[in-house]
A and B are shown apart, each in its own frame.
Chain A
Amino acid sequence: DAGVTQSPTHLIKTRGQQVTLRCSPKSGHDTVSWYQQALGQGPQFIFQYYEEEERQRGNFPDRFSGHQFPNYSSELNVNALLLGDSALYLCASSFRGLAGRNEQFFGPGTRLTVL
């Protein structure tokens, strides 16, 4: 089992550009959540996808959008990049069942640097 995988590992962009980050969930998982972790901070919830729909969203602007594919993998898109978008972007997968008591498994993250 490969666990949660994310690509790319690192990315450097300039202000105003657009970026797409990718995530493949752990085998058997159907739900993907995205988090932003600024340096020295805890992760902040961006949104969660299940059955190819955004189910819940944190306090992030519309510049942040996502998608989930039929194979449960997911993309995070950020438009009009700002310097403040520089962070580690974490993907977490989980299985929707079990009455919400199961944990989320995290990928290694994508380090985005905006210059």
Chain B
Amino acid sequence: GDSVTQMEGPVTLSEEAFLTINCTYTATGYPSLFWYVQYPGEGLQLLLKATKADDKGSNKGFEATYRKETTSFHLEKGSVQVSDSAVYFCALSEIAGNNRKLIWGLGTSLAVNP
């Protein structure tokens, strides 16, 4: 079945450093891809999404490009802030007929130090 593989954490960076969190997927068909963020003690929030190959999702300085040839959706940010400290989840939307569910990676914890 479909699956998502994320780089393991925790990732610790200094403020203003460059961030990359790798995500690769296995899917039959053409899933939508998502990055969700979970701040401490909170629920999941959609960070960005891409629905087809070569789409770039972006939000709050974060970007990810849907790469069908490498089955990847890596998350990047040019300059992280302390407030970006959270757990980041890569997910794909598996579609079976009219039903769809999200398949998740294990999450990558990011800690940004001032």
Binding site for B on A (CB under 8 A): 33, 35, 40-45, 48, 50, 55-56, 58, 90, 92, 94, 96, 100-101, 103-109
With beta carbons under 8 angstroms apart, the residue of B34, B46, B96, B107 that contacts A56 is B96
B98 lies within 8 A of A100 (CB):
yes
Q: How many residues of B contact A (CB 8 A)?
A: 24
A42 lies within 8 A of B104 (CB):
yes
B95 lies within 8 A of A41 (CB):
no
Q: A100-B93, A103-B34, A103-B49 are in contact. Are A43 and B44 (CB under 8 A)?
A: yes
The docked-state distance in angstroms from the alpha carbon of A62 to that of B28 is 28
A-B contact pairs, 21 of them (CB 8 A): A35-B102, A42-B89, A42-B106, A43-B102, A45-B101, A48-B99, A48-B100, A55-B98, A55-B99, A56-B99, A90-B44, A92-B44, A96-B98, A100-B32, A100-B93, A100-B95, A103-B32, A103-B34, A103-B46, A104-B102, A106-B44
A36 to chain B, nearest CB (A): 11
Q: Which DSSP category, helix, strand, loop or mixed, fits chain B's interface?
A: strand
B43 lies within 8 A of A107 (CB):
yes
Q: A33-B101, A45-B102 are in contact. Are A105 and B46 (CB under 8 A)?
A: yes
The docked-state distance in angstroms from the alpha carbon of A105 to that of B93 is 13
Q: Which residues of B contact A50 (CB under 8 A)?
A: 99
B43 lies within 8 A of A109 (CB):
yes
Q: Which residues of A contact B104 (CB under 8 A)?
A: 42-44
A59 to chain B, nearest CB (A): 10
